[in-house]
Chains A and B, each alone.
Chain A
Amino acid sequence: GENVEQHPSTLSVQEGDSAVIKCTYSDSASNYFPWYKQELGKGPQLIIDIRSNVGEKKDQRIAVTLNKTAKHFSLHITETQPEDSAVYFCAAGHNTGANSKLTFGKGITLSVRP
């Protein structure tokens, strides 16, 4: 089955700096890679996703890149703000209709220092 590794496990950045979170996956059949943000006491919130036919996707201050050959994908957050502090999860899955499922990484705690 799919195995998703996420690193580092914690990341601390100064407000205004950029943060990069990296994930690797094992199943070359995976074709869907979402990123979730989880704030304390809340459910994971989808913030951006990328499909395997695209190498990069941007949405305001966040971007995701995908390298299918190396089987890794990364989340980039620019101009970080204290409200970006949260746990971030990457996931991988292959979209095969009703059998689709996501395998999550272990999460990384991002702290943005004001």
Chain B
Amino acid sequence: DTAVSQTPKYLVTQMGNDKSIKCEQNLGHDTMYWYKQDSKKFLKIMFSYNNKELIINETVPNRFSPKSPDKAHLNLHINSLELGDSAVYFCASSQVDRGRYEQYFGPGTRLTVT
């Protein structure tokens, strides 16, 4: 019954590798987001997609490429991983077209780059 789910929960990889994180929401929402939470717990938006269309792209290196195959899924692919990419990545969703802006977060994916 998880509303927003992410896989994997943990990801450990070496510098230079390419990895993907997947997100799915079963809330019927039209908008999905990727956030990065650094070691100091600071939450910063990276991307948002509305009805599969990229809306927000917050000065994220182009090694990060989101992809939304449908409204319920938003994946994040990261090329040439760097040490500084180590963080917890959260997916979230909301339903903006009905004037409801509450964002619901997934459990996070802890990425460790060695």
Contact of B102 among A34, A42, A87, A97 (CB under 8 A): A34
B88 to chain A, nearest CB (A): 9
Q: State A87–B51 Cα separation when bound (angstroms).
A: 31
Which residues of chain A are near B103, meaning CB under 8 Å?
A: 34, 46, 102
Tell me if A99 counts as interface (CB < 8 A to partner B).
yes
User: Using a Cβ–Cβ cut-off of 8 Å, how many residues does chain B contribute to the interface with A?
Assistant: 28
CB distance from B100 to the nearest CB of A (A): 9
Instruction: Give the interface of B toward A (CB within 8 A).
Output: 4, 31, 33, 40-45, 48, 50-51, 53, 55-56, 90, 94, 96-97, 99, 101-108
Within the assembled complex, what's the spacing in Å between the Cα atoms of A74 and B103?
19
Taking a contact as CB atoms under 8 Å apart, the answer to whether B101 and A104 are in contact is no
Total A-B pairs, Cβ < 8 A: 60
Do B41 and A107 touch (CB < 8 A)? yes
Contact pattern, A 85-106, Cβ under 8 Å of B = 1, otherwise 0: 0010100010101111111101
Q: Which residues of A contact B31 (CB under 8 A)?
A: 98, 100
CA of A106 to CA of B40, assembled, Å: 8
Q: Which one of B42, B45, B53 contacts A101 once the chains associate, using CB atoms below 8 Å?
A: B45
B43 and A42: CB pair below 8 A? no
Q: Are B50's CB and A45's CB within 8 A?
A: no
